[in-house]
Amino acid sequence: MKLKTLSTIVVCLAIFISPLNTHPAVAITQKCPIFDFKQMFIADYTAGSRWDNSSGDLHITWSSRSTSIYDETIARPFSDKENAWIRIAFQSWDDALDTISFQEVDPTASPEIVIGFVPLKPSAIQLNAMGFWNTWVADGIRYKATIKLKASDMKWFSNKNQFIHSVQHELGNALGLGDLNPNSAFTSVLEDPWQPPYGRSHLGDTDTAMIRQMYGESTCTPILTTKP
């Protein structure tokens, strides 16, 4: 499916002009992207399916130390280094949202999201994937998710930036966003096949605005412009 042009609304908030016009005028505007998810996403998207943040303060628990991920037993535990990379990926989505945060817990605490290295055996839906996610949904509300990483793809996952990017992508899907066709007009961890830049500790503007729109938060960012 061809990716459609993203529409935006730009609202002018204020214009400040200094006395006697001795300095340039400064205009402050807001750029407020609005996305048509049904048209944008090429896969892994179900309209209206998301986690319930209606309380305004949703804490989603997660663990990387479970012994099984959905229907597969883990192939090996994550190293301390890999666990640190996973935390970076979760924190990037946490930073993008005001109404949702992520809390790492012990696997005995029944975490809502679990992640692990598994064999990820080929199937009709997993094919040759290096990462795969599942969610559990009731009345359109997601309440549980799993993220599988293919243990045999050690060359890919031994790279810090590629590892972080992979988890960011799968977590974005688990939160409700879909996959995007690669596009030179923006950068996104949701692009599929995965595209550089990899491993950024903060999400780009597009991903931040998309996840905020999905969860009913403002997508607006201020823009400063000057005129002589």
Question: Given the structure tokens 């409700």, which residue do they identify?
Answer: 176
Domain-by-domain residue ranges, the chain?
Answer: 49-203
pLDDT band at 127; cut points 50, 70, 90? confident
Specify the pTM. 0.86
Query: In this predicted structure, what is the pLDDT of residue 223?
Result: 72
Checking if the pLDDT of 20 tops 60, the result is no
**What tens digit of pLDDT does each residue of 84-123 get?**
999 999 999 999 999 999 999 999 999 999 999 999 987 7
Query: In this predicted structure, what is the pLDDT of residue 23?
Result: 54
* Contact between residue 59 and residue 101 where contact means Cβ atoms under 8 Å apart: yes
Checking if the pLDDT of 37 tops 90, the result is yes
Query: In this predicted structure, what is the pLDDT of residue 128?
Result: 79
* Contact between residue 147 and residue 114 where contact means Cβ atoms under 8 Å apart: yes
Checking if the pLDDT of 6 tops 50, the result is no
Average pLDDT over residues 44-73: 97
Cβ-Cβ contacts under 8 Å for 148 (sequence gap 6 or more): 69, 70, 72, 115, 116, 118, 120, 131, 132, 133
CATH code linked to domain 49-203: 3.40.390.10
Query: In this predicted structure, what is the pLDDT of residue 14?
Result: 32
User: 21-30, 116-125, 177-186, 187-196 — which is least confidently predicted?
Assistant: 21-30
Cβ-Cβ contacts under 8 Å for 76 (sequence gap 6 or more): 117, 151
Nearest 10 degrees: Cα torsion 53, 41, 164, 63: 40
pLDDT band at 8; cut points 50, 70, 90? very low
DSSP-derived pairing of the beta strands 7-16 and 25-34: antiparallel
Higher per-residue confidence, 40 vs 6:
40
Query: In this predicted structure, what is the pLDDT of residue 30?
Result: 80
Average pLDDT over residues 204-227: 89
Query: In this predicted structure, what is the pLDDT of residue 221?
Result: 86
Checking if the pLDDT of 161 tops 60, the result is yes
DSSP the chain: -PPPPPEEEEEEEEEE--GGG-S-EEEEEEEEEE--HHHH--BS--TT-EE--TTS-EEEEEES--SEETTEE-SBPPPHHHHHHHHHHHHHHHHH-SSEEEEE--GGG--SEEEEEE-----TTTTT-SEEEEEEEETTEEEEEEEEEETT-HHHHTSHHHHHHHHHHHHHHHHT--BB---TT---TTBSS--SSP--SS--HHHHHHHHHHTT----EEEEEEE-
Higher per-residue confidence, 169 vs 127:
169
Checking if the pLDDT of 205 tops 70, the result is yes
Query: In this predicted structure, what is the pLDDT of residue 60?
Result: 99
Query: In this predicted structure, what is the pLDDT of residue 28?
Result: 64
Q: What percent of the chain has pLDDT over 90?
A: 79
